[in-house]
Structure 1
Amino acid sequence: MRAGSLLLLLVLLALPARAQDALVAALSQDAVEVTTGFTGAQLMVFGSTEAPIGPGGDEVVVVVHGPNRPTVVRRKVPVLGVLWVNGPSARFADVPGFYFVAGTRPAWQLLPEVERHRYGLGLDALPLVSTGARSPAFRAALLELEVLSGLWVEDSQPVEIAGSRLFHVRLPLPAGVPTGDYRVEVLLVRSRQVVARQELAFRVDRVGTADRIASVAEDQPLVYGIACILLAAFAGWFGSVVFRRS
């Protein structure tokens, strides 16, 4: 048995014994601290099942939602052939700041479309309601932007199985992950139905200098803007002095 699988087994044995539960899951940590040098983090979702996992048996799907926020997608349009200005736009009221889904197999292979949409499993199943421009191109553009940013991740890696009843998956959080509360759902699928579900949570918070800078930017935007201008001016002056001497 690999060292990682052995560690996972030991952690699972430490969980409360609840033999009657078909699914038991946990997180490697329930808090992530964002500092000025934050380059991303990685959590682990792990657990065990009552019945064997794999083809012909139970399957596991993990879905993670970050804090929602409104998002506007705009289309640039040309003016006089030389200028580009904002054109039609679509406003999405509740867009997940982070989204991750993975399973022992892709969710579309495990569940009917109705069930997938009920649990929001898959980028095509996200309930992205918009106002303004109605073209589906705006939804497609939003999906592309979020995927490229690394904030929306679908089936980038499978949920791994160890010892037929143990499972785990690594949850990658990019450097630009938003702060707030995150909800993790672990679903047990049997015969194309969700038969057990466990909800977990963790929080991402700024700490130290990063928190103070963010607080000033939100509470005193004028002061923050002036400070940025002064800092940029000083950096330009200092750079000119250094290069002049060299």
Structure 2
Amino acid sequence: MMRAACLLLLLLLGLPAARAQEAAAVPPSLTAELSVRRVEVTTAFSGAEILVFGATERLIGPEGDEVLVLVIGPETSMMVRQKVNAMGFWINGPSARFNRVPSYWALASTRPLTAMLDRVERADLRLALDQLPLVQLGAQGPTFRNALANLQQEAGLWVDRDRPIEVSGGRLFHARLPLPATVAHGLYQVQVMLVRNRRVVARQELRLDVVRTGTSAFIADVAREQPVLYAIACIIMAGLAGWIGSVVFRRG
């Protein structure tokens, strides 16, 4: 009788610990989705918006979980030239070529990153423009990289300002990130991360396809596949435009 009571007591004492271990083994829950998976770029395209929404298992807030969204566009190469003054004329000087440049980069979070993640975690995830793994060829130095960042930010292609993620009902969230009219076509990687205790504990990756359609797609295909024909067509169109303009103004 005493032995059975001891066994029962041990089972009762061990039950909460077993439940805690079972709960710890369950991965954090994060569900996210895009409002659209495909953005069509036409000649009338003036920009769009990436809408990311989802839900978490626990409450979102300073004392609970946090969410951040990172969008990265297809990689490209860019050239940055420095202008130099030679006898009163501005001419092209040293230049640097950058490879593996994300054509689009934007970040949104429920709070500023410094309040959500520690420095090591931010560096590992490269959650800053100055931590992008760009390959710089030609002229060296931070001046060219800073110039590249300024150009991309002015064009709205690199969004490094803290954009807030809106929270509803404690567990539902959504983020809106702008796509400018000059956005590149291709596959965009959308990463939704769940942050707990200043570390990323869950991640979901989504894909957004930006495609050219209609006349813009035809022009882009001709320029890429038949550059000589494209150049001749541009010269002819420019000549026609000049001739029509001269006729109109002559009549006026």
Q: Do the structures match in fold with TM over 0.5? A: yes
- Unpaired runs of 5+ residues, structure 1, are 1-18
* Kept in 1: contact 2:28–2:201 (CA 8 A): no
1:200 to 2:196 alignment? no
Per the TM alignment, residue 21 of structure 1 is displaced from its structure 2 partner at its CA by 5.1
Secondary structure at the aligned position of 2:164 is classed as coil
Per the TM alignment, residue 56 of structure 1 is displaced from its structure 2 partner at its CA by 1.3
Secondary structure at the aligned position of 1:176 is classed as coil
Letter in 1 for 2:208: F
Letter in 1 for 2:71: V
Seq. identity, % = 55
Q: What is the distance in 2 between the residues matched to 1:82 and 1:221?
A: 36
Letter in 2 for 1:71: M
Decide which structure has the larger Cα Rg and report it: 2
Secondary structure at the aligned position of 1:155 is classed as strand
2:67 to 60, 63, 76: 60
1:187 to 2:182 alignment? no
1:41 to 2:52 alignment? no
1:26 to 2:30 alignment? no
* Kept in 1: contact 2:111–2:164 (CA 8 A): yes
1:242 to 2:248 alignment? yes
- Unpaired runs of 5+ residues, structure 2, are 1-25
* Kept in 2: contact 1:103–1:155 (CA 8 A): no
TM-score by length of 1: 0.88
Secondary structure at the aligned position of 1:121 is classed as coil
Partner of 1:99: 105
- 1:154-197, CA deviations, whole angstroms, 9 ceiling, x for partnerless residues? 23520100000000011211000001110000011111100110
Secondary structure at the aligned position of 2:85 is classed as strand
- 1:123-182, CA deviations, whole angstroms, 9 ceiling, x for partnerless residues? 233222312222111111111010000000023520100000000011211000001110
2:137 to 131, 140, 148: 131
TM-score by length of 2: 0.86
Change (3 A) 1:235 1:136: same
After superposition, the CA RMSD in angstroms is 1.6
* Kept in 2: contact 1:117–1:126 (CA 8 A): no
1:82 to 82, 88, 92: 88
Q: How many residues align?
A: 227
